[in-house]
């Protein structure tokens, strides 16, 4: 779901950068010493996760794990994903530098939403609620990102419903895999006594 | 945190062993005005039904089309010159490839007919005993001979555009470095007595 360089018009790119800058500001403010290693780790996870792909129909999709990163990081998901996307753009030509703002927002904002939705469930901490949290984080992260991408591609004339339909259908397996991963990670963290909330 | 780190990384290394994705690349093969374009996602999945637009050097649209199931799109361009093909796949994937149709030496038919007289002279000089080949035939033979090399070059080009483990590990190193620097700054400020939390 990286939008390539040269697809979106200028105003879209600028809006993306403005929103991402705001997110980065809030995110960097929220990072304290204890949170730095966690942010680094999830940034690395997101960086690698995009290389795990599933070919589906006419497109090819990959794991996002932005819901997981969001749930564990809160607003700090913005700097984490920004760094990861920057290196994906530089090293793999996924996306690009000018669209980095838009791509970061697409991925990180659903993460923030997931954070607020999942927070009470993580606090509760029973097995059932942790699994529910994992499922919800995956759904919100993946499908909200797909919605954003579809909305942005509307600006270049592709119809929203058609792109959204494709994006949603293509990402169903991704969401399914992520649900399992997220629940597994939450349960594991709980078992290891690592605090889930930040 | 250490446990989490070991867990996540062992998990990811198992998964990354499978394959890599996620951008599209386009490759163009030009043969006598017949242009075949092929487009892949970086894991090798063909970019099916992607929109292809071909521009000439002035930026005018020459032709448009869509790739087939194998991610291929074949078209003919008669006028020699520099062209640019833009492949636009679903979900905002885009690839650009530049190509040249007909270098001055191979393309212009009019030129060959003009130089027909001199051509035979040259042939006689170099290979007096060989059965004289018409220039058309000669080109055909040459193309056949060069085809494996051509394929090899395309393969190398494709291999170069895919992602290597080196890049992945390098990227992870960068992330580690950046956050390491942040951690260093944080700890340094704290030791200096500032309230850095």
pLDDT tens string B94-113 = 788 888 877 654 444 433 33
Q: Which of A44, A97, A178, A188 to mutate to test the interface with B (most CBs of B within 10 A)?
A: A44
- Identify whether B135 is part of a domain: no
The reply to whether residue B179 touches residue A37, judged by beta carbons under 8 angstroms, is yes
Least Cα distance to A71 among A115, A13, A132, A119 occurs for A115
Whether B49 maps to a domain, the answer reads yes
- Cα-Cα-Cα-Cα dihedral of A117, A122, A127, A133, to 10°? 20
Highest mean pLDDT among A9-23, A90-104, B23-37, B55-69: A9-23
We report the CATH number of the domain holding residue A65 as 1.10.1760.20
User: Is residue A92 situated within a structural domain?
Assistant: yes
Name the domain count of chain B: 1
pLDDT attached to residue B69: 80
Q: Which of A100, A22, A117, A112 is nearest to A66 (CA)?
A: A112
* pLDDT, position A55: 63
Residue of A nearest to B22 (CA): A94
Domain that holds residue A40: 10-191
| Segment A138-184, tens digit of pLDDT | 999 999 998 888 888 877 766 677 777 777 887 888 888 889 989 98
Whether A5 is in a domain gets the answer no
For residue B52, the domain's CATH number is 2.60.40.1930
| Residue-wise pLDDT tens digits, A62-87 | 888 899 999 999 999 999 999 999 98
Is the predicted pLDDT of residue B15 greater than 80, yes or no? no
Q: Are A107 and A80 in contact (CB under 8 A)?
A: no
Boundaries of domain holding B42: 22-107
Residue B131 covered by a domain: no
In a domain, residue A173? The reply is yes
Domain assignment present for residue A178? The answer is yes
The verdict on residue B168 lying in a domain is no
Over residues B55-79, mean pLDDT: 82
Find chain B residues with C-beta within 8 A of A152's C-beta.
92
B124 pLDDT tier (thresholds 50, 70, 90): very low
Per-residue exposure over B43-60, b if at least 16 CB sit within 10 Å of its own CB, e if not: bebbbbebbbebbeeeee
Name the domain count of chain A: 1
CA dihedral A193, A198, B4, B10 (to 10 degrees): 150
Of A111-125, A126-140, B13-27, B44-58, which range is least confident?
Answer: B13-27
Which is higher by pLDDT, B52 or A163? B52
Nearest chain A residue to B171, by CA: A87
Nearest to B22 among A41, A47, A50 (CB): A50
pTM equals 0.70
For residue B175, name the pLDDT band (cuts at 50, 70, 90). confident
């Amino acid at each position: 779901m990286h939008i390539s360089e040269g697809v979106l018009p200028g105003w879209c790119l600028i809006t993306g950068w403005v929103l991402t800058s705001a997110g980065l500001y809030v995110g960097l403010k929220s990072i304290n010493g204890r949170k730095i290693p966690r942010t680094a780790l999830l940034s690395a996870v997101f960086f690698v996760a995009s290389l795990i792909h599933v070919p589906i129909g006419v497109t090819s999709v990959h794991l996002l794990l932005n819901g997981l990163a969001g749930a564990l990081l809160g607003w700090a998901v913005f700097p984490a994903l920004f760094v990861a996307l920057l290196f994906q753009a530089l090293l793999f030509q996924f996306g690009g530098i000018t669209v980095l703002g838009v791509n970061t927002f697409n991925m990180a904002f659903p993460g923030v939403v997931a954070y607020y939705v999942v927070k009470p469930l993580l606090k509760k901490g029973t097995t059932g609620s942790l699994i529910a949290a994992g499922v919800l984080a995956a759904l919100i992260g993946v499908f909200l990102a797909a919605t954003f991408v579809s909305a942005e591609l509307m600006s270049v004339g592709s119809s929203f419903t058609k792109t959204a339909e494709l994006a949603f259908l293509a990402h169903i397996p991704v969401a399914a895999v992520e649900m399992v991963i997220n629940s597994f990670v939450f349960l594991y963290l709980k078992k290891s006594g690592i605090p889930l909330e930040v | 945190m250490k446990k989490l780190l070991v867990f996540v990384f062992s998990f990811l290394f198992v998964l990354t062993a499978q394959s890599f994705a996620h951008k599209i690349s386009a490759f163009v093969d030009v043969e006598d005005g017949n242009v075949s374009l092929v487009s892949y996602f970086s894991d090798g999945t063909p970019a099916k039904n992607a929109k292809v637009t071909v521009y000439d050097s002035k930026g005018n649209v020459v032709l448009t089309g869509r790739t087939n199931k194998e991610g291929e799109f074949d078209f003919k361009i008669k006028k020699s010159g520099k062209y640019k093909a833009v492949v636009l796949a679903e979900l905002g994937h885009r690839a650009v490839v530049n190509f040249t149709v007909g270098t001055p030496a191979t393309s212009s038919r009019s030129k060959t007919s003009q130089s027909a007289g001199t051509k035979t002279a040259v042939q006689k000089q170099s290979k007096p005993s060989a059965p004289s080949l018409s220039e058309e035939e000669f080109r055909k033979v040459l193309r056949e001979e060069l085809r494996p090399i051509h394929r090899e070059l395309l393969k190398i080009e494709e291999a170069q555009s895919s992602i290597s483990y080196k890049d992945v590990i390098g990227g992870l190193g960068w992330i580690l470095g950046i956050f390491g620097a942040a951690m260093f700054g944080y700890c340094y400020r704290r030791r200096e007595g500032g309230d850095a939390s």
